[in-house]
A and B are shown apart, each in its own frame.
Chain A
Amino acid sequence: MLEHEATLEIQHLIADCKPGDGDLLAALHRVQHHFGYVPKMAMRVVARQLRLSEAKVYGAATFYSEFRLIPPPETLIGWCSGPACRIAGGDRIRKVLETELGIGMGENTADNRLGLNLAQCNGTCAHAAQVWVNGKVVGPLAAADAVKLVRDLKERP
């Protein structure tokens, strides 16, 4: 997409966000919902709309773990970092995911098909240890289940 078209699109998305009204997070959420991540050029548009410096918008976007600065993969595996998952072997699952995929938390595979993100506990602890595959809870998982899950996802056409 041409940059100025994208700019117009973002301006339209955040048209009702006002300076000095506590709207920065809402604006970033809308951008992420639309694009799947927060592109750098969007920060410039948000900054202009809210009459903030670009540094301030960048500061906010990087303060929170939920805002992505890179495009999302086709399949995002969220690894739950909570304590109930930890005592059910969650840390082993993290090692399995990272090793099998060859990427770290917050990264995508080179072909952009699979990605990992570090997720915060949402209280579905009855399913510990768990991961979320595109938002859907999968668990309880043993480490071997996690290996199979990733291998299945990798082989999926």
Chain B
Amino acid sequence: MPSYDELRAAAELAWKAVESPRRPLFIVSINTSSIAAGARETLAALTKLSEGGAGFDVMQTGDTGFTFAEPVVQVTLPGGTSILYGDVTAGRAEAFAAAAATGVARDHALGVVSGAVAGVPQLAELDWMKIQVRWMMHNCGVIDPENIDHYIARGGYSQFMAASEMDPVALIDVVKGSTLRGHSGSFFSTGTKWDFLRTATAEPKYLVCNADEGDPGAWVNRVILESDPHLVIEGMLLAAKASGATYGWIYLRDEYPLANARLNRALAQARERGILGANALDTGVRFDAEVVRGAGAYVCGDETGLIASINDGRGMPKIKPPFPAQKGVLDKPTNVNNVETYAAAAMLLRVTPERFSDVGTEANRGTKMFTICGEAARTGCIEVPFGTTVNQVLAAVGGMAPGRTFKALQQGGPLSGLLPAHIAGDLPLEPEPFRPLGAGMGGGGLMFVSDRTCVIDLNVMFTWFIEAESCGRCTTCRGGNQRLLEILRRTSQGLGQDGDTDQIASLAASMQFSNCFHGTLSPTIVNNTIKYFREEYDAHALEHRCPAQACDGLIRYRIANQTPAVAEAAAICPVRAITQSGGAWKIDDATCFRCHACKDVAPDDIVIEDRYQDAIPLRVLVPADVARSG
């Protein structure tokens, strides 16, 4: 097997062809988000042009984080000038290529990556980039994630080489001293966790990488795995060196097939080069790993659920103790960290512990990745120092979408809460400030919500999700969430009652006796809503009115103008609720199921109004299927 220095020398040669190419090099971002925007078609179009003698080469990369501009293409010219471009759809590829290969395609230019081009801003000077410190993302959208040479040439596996000469205790002390804590949402000291495994007495010891990023609206781990899978493998190798673990499982959610392919390829390449195996790079460290595909169960994000899923097939969380460090996968001592935590551990050594400590806050050194979605102006993935405020992030992504006002932040998925803009905006992004508010920061999802969204409706959605994803073992979680959902559904139908908030509080209190975080944290959003959006709750429950005009049971559609567009609306209606009599169109309110399709077709002629504006019903019977329907 070649030595690390030999690997590095060969890798640098391969990387030189990317950094200073002989011909223009078109680097196409291929990731799950870009594929959705048509990047595979862009790649095919550019490859065809290249093969047809267009005089440039084509390469793929992972995710630049500029999701809002996908398909994204970076073009590096032989002189070294490199520009990042957006919205390069296949249809525009030919004209784009002609301009970009010889100079600059101004219509698409996002920013200059290296060099200087008149009239195009430096990428680093964009608001989007200015607040970022890209450590874990340093290879994202830069290297070909399927080429191990690119990773090695940019310093990859050098931290493992340096750490392999350290005493495990000294290595753990460095990690402990850095304050590095789990990035998945629990924020437990990573060094301490590694030490639990190191001091465990049973053998063999195992590592698990939690890549079951189930929080809807978050795709931080996906960005790393699709863009730089070796960074996670190097982080696991460091943990193996520190703890004595010899085998690892990367538990990957099945919604990420591209990450699965790239991760498996990375593992195979690392094995071929002797980085994984009986004697990693001749350091005496023995470690290998495999990918386990999950199959769609949110509760497997809990570490005991995840371990149960590997062991037994069913991902039922277990009561601790025993902790995974005593009894984990195959009943052996196991350490579980998530993707970003392993990546952060590798980067902590790469940037040096001193520089790492200079970034972030006193309690949380370093950086954290976040994905931005919802009603913000731009969607994408960023990496910022811990302590960056929510408002700073919102400003960097261009504020809210046009015409929308920041009303609430939904951070970290269903179990982390929903906070109003006036509180969330000033919050520094680190776990501590969220806790006294009855919320959590979570693992990296930031969904910005506007005044057009009804928080009760959002509550119904999240509680339904939590209820559906409960493993069902604890009555408090299973039954508690069923009852919670019934109350919320009733409320959204205009059938809320005076004592509902007390009932919710009582349910929330009993749910604290659930076994795992899924149960104990499940009432977080509903508690937040009652605390911070009480007015909206009361408007639904007591006034039978949905201020955002989103809740089905509280609105009705009415034809305001008899125009030809209404005939089209009638044709699109899935339930044929729009009928004509005596030359006039009308909507039968009892048939209408509020799908909004008619208003999409005739936006100016059909209006939404409060259903009970004329009379508040004193008593409305709830059909059983409304209260319980899925």
Q: Which A positions have Cβ atoms within 8 angstroms of B?
A: 20-22, 24-26, 28-29, 52, 56-57, 59-60, 63-67, 81-84, 86-87, 89, 91-92, 95-96, 99-100, 104-105, 119-128, 130, 137, 139, 142-148
Contacts and interface: CB of A to CB of B under 8 A. Distances in A.
B295 A67 contact: yes
Interface string B25-37: 0000000110111
A122 B256 contact: yes
Interface of B: 32-33, 35-37, 67-68, 70, 214, 216-219, 222, 249, 253-256, 292-298, 309-315, 329-330, 371, 373-375, 379-380, 410, 447, 449, 452-453, 457-458, 461-462, 465, 471, 572, 574-575, 593-598, 600-601, 630
A114 to B, nearest CB: 15
B409 to A, nearest CB: 12
B330 A21 contact: yes
- Of listed A100, A119, A143, A144, residue having the most chain B CB within 10 A: A144
B330 A20 contact: yes
B593 A95 contact: yes
A63 B70 CA distance: 35
Contact of A56 (B32, B216, B312, B315): B312
A128 B596 CA distance: 16
Contacts of A65: 295-297
Contacts of B374: 83-84, 87, 125
A100 B574 contact: yes
26 contacts: A20-B330, A24-B312, A25-B310, A63-B313, A66-B295, A81-B216, A82-B216, A83-B410, A87-B375, A87-B447, A89-B596, A91-B461, A95-B593, A95-B595, A99-B595, A104-B630, A122-B222, A125-B217, A125-B373, A125-B374, A130-B36, A142-B596, A143-B600, A144-B598, A144-B601, A148-B572
Given A65-B295, A120-B214, A123-B33, A147 B461 contact: no
Nearest to B378: A126
Contacts, number: 170
Nearest to A60: B313
Given A82-B216, A124-B36, A147 B597 contact: yes
B295 A59 contact: no
A22 B329 contact: yes
Given A28-B313, A81-B216, A126-B70, 5 more contacts: A87-B375, A92-B596, A122-B32, A125-B217, A125-B379
Contacts of B471: 63
Nearest to B329: A22
A96 B310 contact: no
Given A120-B216, A142-B596, A126 B461 contact: no
Nearest to B300: A64
A122 B258 CA distance: 11
A83 B462 contact: yes
B597 A96 contact: yes
Contacts of B330: 20-22
B215 to A, nearest CB: 8
Contacts of B67: 126
A64 B293 contact: no
Given A86-B461, A145-B600, A57 B313 contact: yes
Given A99-B575, A100-B574, A125-B373, A64 B216 contact: no
A86 B597 contact: no
B98 to A, nearest CB: 27
Contacts of A67: 295-296
Contacts of A66: 254, 294-296
A126 B314 contact: no
Nearest to A90: B461
A125 B413 CA distance: 14
B295 A25 contact: yes
Contacts of A146: 597
B453 A126 contact: no
Contact of B36 (A81, A100, A137): A137
Contacts of B218: 123
Contacts of A120: 214, 216, 253, 255, 296, 298
Contacts of A86: 457-458, 461
A96 B597 CA distance: 8
Contacts of B447: 83-84, 87
B33 A64 contact: no
A70 to B, nearest CB: 16
B346 to A, nearest CB: 23
B434 to A, nearest CB: 18
